[in-house]
């Protein structure tokens, strides 16, 4: 089963290693991981998408909760949250397909962030469905390079 966990952790060397090691011990596969600063410089937020045995993931979550560096862990799979992901894609471009590509970018509201002689690079932020949708549309044109941020998420509402 796929699960999404969000952790608040102290900014100390080794914290990410501890988290990744704990889930690797539980044999869960980390589908994506996004770790970045929060509004407080000494605290990071880490959002992890996992696939694996539910009970094993629960155990790993429990072990991590006991670490000094971990302030809080939420299971976002069980709560209502807004999720977003960022993707950058470099696509093969030729005079013959530029118009079609531009139409696709417009439909998905993807922004062009770079252009070479033979490629064009766009960015899109959106939920997983929208990101997957754009990628599927662009595959036939030839994707040269692709980078995804992994999912980030915040709880809905005022909480």
- Positions in the binding site for its own copies (CB under 8 A): 6, 11-14, 16-17, 19-21, 23-24, 27-39, 45, 47, 82, 84-88, 90, 113-114, 116-119, 121, 123, 125, 135, 139, 143-150, 152-158
Q: Are strands 70-75 and 2-10 parallel, antiparallel or unpaired?
A: antiparallel
The CB-of-66 to its own copies minimum distance in angstroms stands at 18
Q: Which is nearer to its own copies, 102 or 123 (CB)?
A: 123
CA triplet 18, 148, 101: central angle to 5 degrees?
175
CB of 103 to its own copies, least distance (A): 21
| Residue among 66 and 136 whose Cβ is closer to its own copies | 136
Instruction: Name which of 125, 128, 121 is nearest 146 in CA terms.
Output: 121
Smallest distance, Å, CB 138 to its own copies?
A: 9
**10 closest CA partner among 46, 43, 40, 47:** 43
What are the angstrom distances between the C-alpha of 3 and each of 21, 28, 30, 122, 151? 17, 10, 10, 29, 12
Nearer to its own copies, 66 or 117 (CB): 117
Question: Nearest distance from residue 110's CB to its own copies, in Å?
Answer: 11
- Which C-beta is closer to its own copies: that of 62 or that of 113? 113
């Amino acid at each position: 089963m796929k699960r999404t966990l969000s952790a608040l952790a102290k900014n100390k060397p080794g914290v990410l290693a501890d988290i990744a090691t704990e889930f690797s011990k539980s044999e869960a596969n980390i589908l994506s991981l996004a770790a970045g600063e929060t509004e407080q410089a000494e605290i990071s937020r880490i959002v992890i998408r996992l696939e694996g045995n539910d009970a094993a993931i629960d155990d790993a979550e429990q072990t991590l909760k006991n670490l000094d560096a971990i302030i809080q862990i939420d299971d976002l799979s069980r709560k209502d949250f807004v999720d977003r992901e960022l993707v950058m894609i470099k696509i093969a471009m030729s005079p013959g397909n530029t118009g079609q590509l531009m139409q696709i970018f417009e439909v998905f509201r993807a922004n062009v962030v770079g252009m070479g002689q033979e490629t064009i690079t766009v960015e899109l932020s959106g939920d997983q469905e929208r990101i997957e949708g754009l990628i599927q549309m662009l595959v036939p044109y030839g994707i040269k390079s692709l980078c995804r941020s992994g999912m980030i998420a915040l709880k809905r509402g005022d909480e």
